């Protein structure tokens, strides 16, 4: 069991997992597999370059393109090496962010004919309400879940391949079918796909659900990033798929619309979407009077 690799999402969960006293190494996957340009399954160099540019632009330059590209290359290199391991354990939350990542990783492991892959997908933990994800758990709580892991079946690999292709191509018909799938071999995925569909721009307002929650919070008086975060977290259905940088991006988008729906005041005209020396406590967010909003053509796609 020393030749075990634990793969998870999020540095917080990965850090706690590394302290859980379990055999083997911990590998944290970094990417947003439900968004941005990519091809299904194992990526080619063109896809990696396109994703590096996308992540740079999505974080408004917070992530350096060269650094992102090297990170992506290294993690796929490590995933290929993982396929030769005696034992792989996947630790993921039952949310959109993690499950789109899980589908992709399973697809890549299937591509490399990986054996003895086990899965822990966690949607709740006793005494933690609301449960938002593995990052909330202490090392001892994570280790208590280890005996619940189950071997990934061929049917689950095949279903993951189908889901990964749907997210990569963003085929709405396929994603709608997956959201309504009964008896899915990965039973948490239909709800995750349904949550992705909620992020599609509304035909009337042009807003996705997370943007709507943020705008409602701001119009309700939440005037700082922390207050908006707390309000949106309370209003969304757990486990939440988004983190602070995703929410800041949505808030920035509200300020950058034409016409803008909010104003951001502080040391910059937008909230930092990655590590920054700007203090979030110094920002204030103000709702603008309701204005006529014309959804873009993309809202109807």
User: 184-233 pLDDT, tens per residue?
Assistant: 999 999 999 999 999 999 999 999 999 999 999 999 999 999 999 999 99
Predicted model pTM: 0.92
SS3 295: coil
User: 13-54 pLDDT, tens per residue?
Assistant: 999 999 999 999 999 999 999 999 999 999 999 999 999 999
- 134 and 13 Cβ atoms separated by less than 8 Å: yes
User: What domains sit in the chain, N to C, each tagged with a CATH number?
Assistant: 4-198 (3.40.50), 209-300 (1.10.10)
Which H, E and C letters describe 234-288, residue by residue? HHCCCCCCCCHHHHHHHHHHHHHCCCCCEEEECCCCCCCCCCCCCCHHHCEEEEC
- CB-based burial, 196-224: b 16+ in 10 Å, e otherwise: beebbbeeeebbbbbbbbbbebbeeebee
- What gap in Å lies between CA 178 and CA 194, rounded to an integer? 8
User: 119-152 pLDDT, tens per residue?
Assistant: 999 999 999 988 989 999 999 999 999 999 999 9
What is residue 106's predicted lDDT score, i.e. its pLDDT?
98
Contacts 24+ apart (CB under 8 A), 66-74: 71/30, 72/31, 72/43, 72/48, 73/48
User: 161-186 pLDDT, tens per residue?
Assistant: 999 999 999 999 999 999 999 999 99
What is the rounded average pLDDT for all residues in the chain?
A: 93
Tokens, residue 103: 């589908």
What is residue 296's predicted lDDT score, i.e. its pLDDT?
43
- 38 and 50 Cβ atoms separated by less than 8 Å: yes
């Amino acid at each position: 069991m020393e030749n075990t690799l634990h793969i998870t999402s999020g540095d917080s969960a990965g850090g706690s997992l590394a302290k859980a006293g379990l055999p083997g190494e911990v590998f944290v996957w970094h990417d947003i597999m439900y968004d941005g340009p990519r091809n299904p399954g194992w990526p080619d160099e063109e896809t990696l370059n396109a994703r590096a540019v996308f992540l740079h632009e999505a974080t408004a330059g917070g992530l350096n393109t060269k650094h992102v590209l090297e990170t992506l290359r290294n993690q796929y290199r490590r995933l290929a090496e993982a396929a030769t391991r005696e034992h792989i354990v996947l630790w993921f939350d039952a949310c959109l962010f993690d499950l789109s990542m899980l589908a992709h990783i399973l697809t890549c492991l299937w591509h490399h004919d990986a054996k003895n892959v086990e899965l822990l997908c966690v949607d709740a933990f006793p005494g933690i309400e609301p449960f938002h994800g593995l990052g909330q758990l202490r090392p001892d709580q994570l280790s208590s879940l280890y005996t619940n892991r189950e071997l990934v079946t061929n049917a689950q690999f095949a279903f993951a391949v189908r889901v990964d292709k749907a997210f990569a191509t963003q085929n709405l018909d396929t994603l709608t079918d997956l959201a309504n799938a009964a008896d899915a071999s990965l039973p948490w995925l239909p709800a995750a796909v349904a949550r992705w569909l909620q992020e599609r721009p509304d035909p009337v307002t042009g807003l996705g659900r997370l943007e709507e929650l943020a705008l409602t919070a701001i119009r309700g008086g939440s005037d700082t990033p922390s207050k908006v975060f707390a309000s949106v977290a309370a209003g969304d259905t757990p486990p939440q798929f988004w983190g602070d940088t995703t929410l800041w991006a949505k808030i920035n988008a509200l300020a950058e619309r034409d016409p803008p729906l909010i104003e951001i005041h502080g040391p910059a005209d937008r909230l930092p979407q990655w590590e920054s020396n700007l203090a979030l406590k110094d920002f204030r967010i103000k709702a603008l009077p309701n204005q006529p909003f014309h959804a873009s053509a993309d809202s109807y796609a």
